[in-house]
């Protein structure tokens, strides 16, 4: 079943604490933020970079967007989540969150820090009713394939979809994983989830 909802878009520089604060003034004026999904990162080259050639400002920007921005955003929503005793914070990582990759130190260092932040916040705030999880998206997210209806409900209860051998991930199927984390029973919360296509030559 599809439901209509209002959607608001606000420009924000996640590496700038002032920008984050001003953006959340507008967001919080609309009401309680029950779910925060942080999925920001500084674009990097798809080709490995020689470490000696990385500019310090580029390295710092990647760290700021990947981890410092997550810190700022979490600080904006956590007080009310704790007050209400509920809420979900989901941080998006990738394979670079788990393994250092030659030529990609900018990306890896920021993603490592984001993963550490998620673990620290989980241990501090999950006893207070706030679910904090880190989602490792290991692969390429492609365009939506088809609208999920009955099949989406089956996916929520763990029935495997037939991916047809496509190495890219369907964003609708990914969204179901995020939704599942939000509605999980707090008696068995997931702190980290690794998601990849069934046909993934990069899997290990």
Q: What is the pLDDT of residue 201?
A: 56
pLDDT at 147: 52
DSSP 200: -
Domains and CATH numbers, the chain: 34-195 (3.40.50.720)
CB within 8 Å of 71: residues ≥ 6 apart: 117
Q: Report whether 73 contacts 67 (CB < 8 A).
A: no
Model pTM score:
0.83
Question: Per residue of the chain (204 residues), what is the pLDDT tens digit?
Answer: 567 878 888 889 988 999 999 999 999 998 999 999 999 877 776 677 788 888 898 889 889 999 999 999 999 999 999 999 999 999 999 888 998 989 888 889 999 999 999 999 999 999 999 999 999 998 778 776 655 444 444 443 444 444 445 678 888 889 999 999 999 999 999 999 998 887 665 543
d(CA 64, CA 94): 17
Which pLDDT score, from 0 to 100, does residue 199 have? 65
pLDDT at 202: 56
Token reading at 176: 């179901």
Burial class (CB in 10 A: 0-12, 13-18, 19+), 120: exposed
């Amino acid at each position: 079943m599809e439901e209509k909802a209002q959607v608001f878009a606000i420009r924000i520089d996640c590496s700038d604490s002032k920008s984050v604060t001003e953006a959340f003034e507008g967001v919080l004026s609309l009401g309680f933020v029950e779910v925060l999904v942080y999925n920001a990162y500084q674009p990097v080259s798809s080709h490995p970079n020689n470490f000696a050639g990385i500019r310090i400002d580029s390295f710092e920007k990647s760290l700021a967007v990947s981890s410092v921005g997550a810190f700022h955003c979490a600080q904006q929503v956590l007080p009310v989540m704790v007050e209400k005793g509920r809420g979900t914070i989901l941080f998006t990582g990738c394979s670079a969150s788990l393994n250092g990759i030659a030529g990609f130190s900018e990306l890896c260092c920021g993603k490592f820090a984001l993963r550490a932040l998620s673990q620290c916040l989980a241990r501090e705030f999950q006893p207070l009713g706030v679910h904090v999880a880190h989602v490792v998206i290991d692969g390429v997210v492609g365009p939506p394939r088809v609208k999920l209806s009955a099949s989406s409900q089956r996916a929520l209860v763990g029935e495997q979809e037939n991916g047809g051998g496509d190495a890219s991930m369907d964003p609708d199927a990914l969204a179901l994983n995020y939704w599942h984390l939000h509605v999980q029973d707090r008696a068995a919360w997931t702190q980290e989830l690794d998601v990849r296509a069934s046909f993934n030559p990069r899997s290990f």
